[in-house]
Amino acid sequence: MFSIEDIEGIGPATAEKLRNAGINSVEALAVTPVRMLVEEAEITEEKANEITQSARKMLDIKFMTATEFMKHRTSINKITTGVKAFDELLGGGIETQSMTELIGEFGSGKTQICHQLCATVQLPPERGGLNGKAVFIDTEGTFRPERVSSVARDLAMDPVAALNNVIYARAYNSDHQLLLTNETAKMAMNENIKLIIVDSVITHFRSEYPGREALAQRQQKLNGHLHQLLRTADVYGIAVVVTNQIQSTPDTFFGNPNKPAGGNVLAHGSTYRIWLRKSKESRRIARIIDSPMHPEGECVFMITENGLKDMDVPDK
């Protein structure tokens, strides 16, 4: 495996600037836009062009046939949700090298799923996990380690070890959220991170950029955030899960008056979009509303004291 120092034109000083900007590998450099290198790594545009071209040449990035790409996709893994019906809906679980968006109103189960995934990602592959760690970026103060601990116990895991494998940070504004995403990219190569959660991805952007006059700036900043997450997912084989809020459109007279926040930027940035809604008692319904490969479909599951469960599996 190449290091960034192996790239022609990169000396110790430039390598340090790149690592400080969260670019730790040749693969990460090859897919990072030149403009971002200029702004975040503080190098000239000429230098940025030179080293990104060298990185792409070193990796031999080129067109490939669909057959070759299909072979490449065999490196993609899945993380079980712990619910058979949910996993079947997703074709095996939450996919790495992609972004899964969980959409729903408060109490629909978005954060509960995130807590569950923090535990299941640590399971061995034969049990649907990746033997990996999770990063949880919390923008709303909803993370509860007690919940991860109870799910871990139910999965016959050591709850103390499970909590030690969840790296937590509270994001207090959108700039801090972007900084934490950058720090996560720095950790990804050395910490065996297999899951990144941002709960919720839109909160700070909505509160800090209100009104139509701030919409363009908000969407541009959000777009950069999503693409940083996607690059990290693709380069390091990580699953990214983001939660999203819904917003009401009172002028809608026919159909559902609710729609996901974030507009087209978030819609196009997410690989898979899942709409969650409440049902009777502890039941929740998950529906795929956008996917490049899955048909639209839905499943029903329960939220119990010990985590998510299939409808036919009683809580212990």
Cis preceding-peptide flag for 174 (omega within 30 of 0): no
One-letter amino acid at 302 equals: M
Distances in Å between the alpha carbon of 6 and those of 9, 17, 24, 190?
Answer: 9, 15, 12, 19
Mean pLDDT of the chain: 91
pLDDT surpasses 60 at 212:
yes
What domains sit in the chain, N to C, each tagged with a CATH number? Answer: 4-59 (1.10.150.20), 72-310 (3.40.50.300)
The pair of three-digit structure tokens given for residue 158, joined into one six-digit string:
């050591």
pLDDT level of residue 81 (50, 70, 90 thresholds) = very high
> Under DSSP, is residue 211 helix (H, G, I), strand (E, B) or coil?
coil
One-letter amino acid at 230 equals: L
pLDDT surpasses 70 at 249:
no
Listed residue (268, 297, 293) closest to 99, CA to CA: 268
pLDDT level of residue 64 (50, 70, 90 thresholds) = confident
Listed residue (104, 244, 92, 82) closest to 150, CA to CA: 82
Distances in Å between the alpha carbon of 235 and those of 81, 122, 198, 311?
Answer: 23, 20, 18, 37
Selection from 12-16, 226-230, 292-296 with the highest mean pLDDT: 226-230
Measured on CA atoms in the order 102, 107, 113, 118, is the torsion positive or negative? positive
The pair of three-digit structure tokens given for residue 146, joined into one six-digit string:
């007690």
pLDDT level of residue 118 (50, 70, 90 thresholds) = very high
Q: How many other β-carbons are positioned within 10 Å of the β-carbon of residue 223?
A: 16
pLDDT level of residue 314 (50, 70, 90 thresholds) = low
Mean pLDDT of 166-175: 97
Mean pLDDT of 181-194: 90
